[in-house]
Structures are given as C-alpha cells and as structure tokens.
Copies of this chain bind each other. A is one copy, B any other.
C-alpha cells in the first residue's frame, strides 16, 4: 500500500522501517528532517509538509507525542486536511484523548476520510520487533482494509470498539501499569526497610498471584537501580493525565491512578522525566 507516515521518533522510526521491509511504499514527514534520514535511505520519499504528502497516499499513519501535535499535522495550516483525497484512511497511533480523537475524526469525515485510533503498547522494543499490542477504535470495515499494516507492526491487534475505544483501552493500560509499578515499588521498599532481601521476595512472588509483567521487568529495574527507558516517565505522566481527565469527564473516581499520576508528576519535577517510569521507585525510597 501507499502509506504516509508522520512522526518518526523512537516509536515511529522502527515502525516505518518495518513497513518498508514488508514491501509498502512510504511517504514520510517529520518536523526534523534529520530524523527521517534512515527511512529515506531505506527507500521512503520525504515530503516537506503533511499537506504535500497527503494526496499521494491511501493511508496516513500519525505517531506523535501529544494531541496538539496530531491536531497540527491533521488540521493545521499545512495539515493533511487541506489536500487529502476522499477515501483515504487516517490511523492515529499516538496516545491522545478520546475527546480530541472524536473531534479530529469529525473534521476528517467531512472530507470523506475515515479515521481509526490505534494506540499501541510494547515500547521501543515492540516497535523494532513488530510485536506491538495494538488497540483499535473505529469502524470494523475500515480496520479490515488496513489489517495488513497492523499485521506488520503488531503481534496482536484487538478491535476494542467504536472510535475512541482504542484510546480508552490505552488509558486502561497505562493506569494498570502505573499502579502496578507503585505496588511493586511499595512492596520492595517494605522488604528492604524490614531488613529482608527484596530480590528473594521478588523471586518468591513471581510464580503466584502477585506475578505480573511489571514485577518481572520493572521489578528488576528497581532491584538493579537502573532506569534506562523503556518508557519515559514524562510520557507516562502525560498518559496518566489523559486517563485521569477522561475519568473526570465520564464521572468516576480513580484515586489510586490519581496517586500514581502524582508520583509521576513529582518524578518529572525532580528532573527524572527521561528515566523509565519505574523510577517511581526512587520516590518511594525517598
């Protein structure tokens, strides 16, 4: 397929590369052209703006840090919306709010452009390996058309529901991970403060009901006191604010998620935003 890929950061770059390797024709745009170089070398065509790129492709993928970036690329002065052909499909794989997703989709629909929200989990390694977990919201028939793309990028694609449902699933994902990081962190701190080897405790707990991917992967980071990302605290913080905002919007309280968010706020304020988000453990140990 002819695919436009916008946003070539830590996640977007390996994803775009995998699409080229799988035989797709790629047009790319990034605010910083230098971040496109590896992709251009691999055969992608560079465009100076999203507006220049849009008319040349059937599918446009956005993989950007925040709602404002997605808005700019899709609806801005040099945005996709100005030149996009009817029938084009926009897949936003960024993590943004449901509300923003709905607003962007509504605007695109007026140009007969369908949109899917398809945020991912699995981090840089998942992007490199093409094993991302992809959570899709939007029309099932639209999803069917682009399924081959998801098959390249992800190990597993789940159609969660209507437009925005992918973002809701991602919010749930980020809540659970952040809260489980806090849980593991508190437990390992209790062990250490009690004069007990936290490594032994983690080992004992791994097979039982307390076992989780977080205990396995982030628990090891905490024990080794090494917080190279992984997934940066600053981004996890952003995602937790989206989730807590969404909870307020739909009228429920999620106090433990709010506490985990505040931990990430503190971590970023202390200048640790570039560490893996499991560095929350540095606060509990404070």
Rounded to whole Å, the gap between the CB of A114 and the closest CB of chain B is 19
Contact A215 B171, beta carbon cutoff 8 Å: no
Does A69 sit within 8 A of B, measured CB to CB? no
Q: Which of A168-207 contact B (CB under 8 A)?
A: 168-169, 171-173, 175-177, 179-180, 182-184, 186-191, 193-197, 200-201, 203-205, 207
Mostly, the A contact residues are helix
Contact B200 A176, beta carbon cutoff 8 Å: no
Contact residues on A (Cβ < 8 Å of other chain), bracket = 35 or more
Q: Name which of A171, A180, A254 has the most chain B CB atoms within 10 A of its CB.
A: A180
Q: Which of A203-223 contact B (CB under 8 A)?
A: 203-205, 207-215, 217
Give Cα A215 to B169, complex, Å: 14
Chain copies in complex: 2
Contact A209 B200, beta carbon cutoff 8 Å: no
A200 contacts which chain B residues (CB < 8 A)? 158-161, 165, 169
Residue in contact with A121 in the complex, picked from B160, B175, B196, B209, CB distance below 8 Å: B209
Does A133 sit within 8 A of B, measured CB to CB? yes
What residue of chain B has the Cβ atom nearest to residue A244's Cβ? B190
Contact B161 A204, beta carbon cutoff 8 Å: no
Contact A193 B160, beta carbon cutoff 8 Å: no
Does A55 sit within 8 A of B, measured CB to CB? no
A160 contacts which chain B residues (CB < 8 A)? 196-197, 200-201, 204
Contact A210 B177, beta carbon cutoff 8 Å: yes
A252 contacts which chain B residues (CB < 8 A)? 189-190, 193, 284
Starting from the known contacts A133-B204, A169-B200, A212-B213, 14 additional A-B residue pairs (CB-CB under 8 Å) come to A161-B196, A162-B196, A165-B197, A169-B201, A176-B183, A179-B180, A182-B256, A183-B183, A186-B256, A189-B254, A209-B217, A252-B284, A253-B284, A256-B256
Query: Could you tell me which A residues sit within 8 Å of B by CB distance?
Result: 98, 121-123, 133, 135, 155-156, 158-162, 164-165, 168-169, 171-173, 175-177, 179-180, 182-184, 186-191, 193-197, 200-201, 203-205, 207-215, 217, 243, 246-247, 250-257, 259-260, 284
